[in-house]
């Protein structure tokens, strides 16, 4: 009996896909400890599968896919001008991967052009309170823990039997639907859910360029970056030699040459360091 090739491919693809829950959280954060009146928000996604979960910025996902497609096309067409005027930049670059059922966590962070992985297999020490309430229509219970030097108050919903939550928060008998640190500087609130079909292996996928390091190494890299935040850009620009093709870029309504863009990035990084000091993973930056 012959089977239509297209039907066979669909059947094979179906075995590779699994039902995934996407939980959308509104992340509210205050990055400047000297200006706690100013807060920013960004939607984050907790995407779960039978093998594990991934927590990432919705905006960053769009930004990364657009940039990848743009430079791939530029390489094929020898394009030398890039227009990113309408492309929205993410405020949050951090991602978190968790594996099930051990709930080992991998924190993905970047310093300059370095993509870094910090692995953590320590279980969170939860204190579950008898205090109960309702959040977003769910019956919830309060729990507290400490992570990266921050004390967290969270509300989990036992009726959603997923022991996961935003960022690295996980391990409770129900999905964490709301979380806030004790100072009120960082908070996550569930605002939406949906189901999609995904390849579980893609959720847990790691890039070839990502480097696994420990917390001590991360702190050293961060302190080096603070001393010279544009070092990597200068090295990349200077390593191409005389064969370098002159490029230009449109950004924020203006067009910049390669040298002008380098100076702009250096200025932006130095300015950001002055008012970016209240990180979610507080202990990592000390």
pLDDT given at position 104: 94
pLDDT at position 234: 73
Distance from C-alpha of 28 to C-alpha of 135, rounded to nearest angstrom: 17
**How does strand 211-212 pair with strand 114-120?**
parallel
CA distance 278 to 35: 10
52: left (phi over 0), alpha (psi -120 to 50) or beta: left
Ramachandran angles phi, psi of 143, nearest 5° = -145, 155
Q: Which residue has the tokens 């769910």?
A: 138
Q: Which of 270, 269, 286 is nearest to 278 (CA)?
A: 286
Token output for 46: 């907790």
* Per-residue confidence (pLDDT) for residue 2, from 0 to 100: 43
Q: What is the pLDDT of residue 13?
A: 39
pLDDT for position 214: 95
**pTM (whole model) above 0.95:** no
Q: What does the pLDDT read at residue 127? A: 98
179-216 b/e with 16+ CB inside 10 Å = b? bbbeeebbbbbbeeeeeeebebeebbeeeeeeeebeee
192 prior amide bond cis, ω within 30: no
Counting beta carbons within 10 angstroms of the beta carbon of residue 92, is it exposed (0 to 12), middle (13 to 18) or buried (19 or more)?
Answer: middle
- Strand 186-198 relative to strand 114-120, pairing: unpaired
Per-residue pLDDT tens listing for the chain (286 residues): 444 544 433 333 344 456 788 999 999 999 988 888 899 999 999 999 989 999 999 887 665 555 555 555 655 565 655 555 555 677 899 999 999 999 999 999 999 888 999 999 889 999 999 999 999 899 999 999 999 999 999 999 999 999 999 999 999 999 999 999 999 999 999 999 988 887 767 767 777 789 999 999 999 999 999 988 877 777 666 554 444 456 666 656 677 677 777 777 777 778 778 888 899 999 999 8
Candidates 60, 89, 118, 100; CA nearest to 203 is: 100
Position 249 scores a pLDDT of 61
pLDDT at residue number 34: 83
pLDDT at 251: 59
What pLDDT was estimated at residue 229?
A: 84
pLDDT computed for residue 1 by the predictor: 42
Q: How many CA atoms lie within 13 A of 118 on its CB side?
A: 21
Say what the pLDDT of residue 8 is.
37
Q: For 33-70, write each residue's pLDDT tens digit.
A: 888 889 999 999 999 998 999 999 988 766 555 555 55
Contacts of 29 (CB under 8 A, 6+ apart): 39, 40, 41, 42, 185, 186, 187, 278, 280
State how far the Cα of 98 lies from the Cα of 102, in Å rounded to an integer: 9
């Amino acid at each position: 009996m012959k089977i239509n090739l297209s039907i066979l491919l669909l059947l094979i693809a179906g075995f590779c896909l699994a039902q995934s829950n996407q939980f959308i959280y509104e992340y509210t954060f205050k990055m400047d400890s000297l200006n706690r009146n100013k807060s920013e928000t960004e939607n984050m996604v907790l995407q779960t599968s039978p093998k594990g979960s991934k927590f990432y910025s919705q905006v960053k996902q769009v930004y990364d896919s657009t940039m990848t497609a743009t430079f791939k096309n530029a390489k094929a067409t020898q394009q030398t001008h890039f227009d990113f005027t309408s492309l929205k930049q993410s405020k949050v670059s951090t991602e978190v991967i968790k594996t099930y059922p051990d709930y080992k966590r991998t924190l993905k962070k970047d310093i300059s052009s370095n993509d870094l992985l910090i692995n953590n297999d320590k279980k969170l020490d939860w204190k579950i309170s008898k205090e109960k309430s309702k959040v977003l229509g769910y019956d919830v219970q309060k729990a507290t823990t400490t992570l990266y030097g921050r004390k967290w108050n969270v509300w989990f919903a036992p009726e959603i039997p997923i022991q996961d939550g935003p960022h690295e928060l996980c391990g409770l008998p129900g999905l964490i639907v709301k979380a806030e640190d004790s100072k009120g500087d960082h908070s996550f609130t569930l605002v939406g859910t949906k189901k999609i079909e995904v390849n579980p292996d893609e959720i847990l996928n790691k890039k070839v360029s990502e480097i696994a390091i420990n917390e001590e190494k991360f702190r050293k890299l961060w302190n080096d970056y603070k001393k010279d935040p544009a070092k990597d850009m200068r090295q990349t620009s200077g390593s191409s030699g005389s064969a370098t093709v002159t490029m230009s870029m449109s950004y924020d309504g203006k067009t910049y040459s390669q040298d002008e863009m380098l100076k702009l990035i250096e200025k932006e990084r130095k300015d950001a360091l002055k008012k970016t000091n209240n990180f979610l993973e507080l202990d990592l930056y000390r």
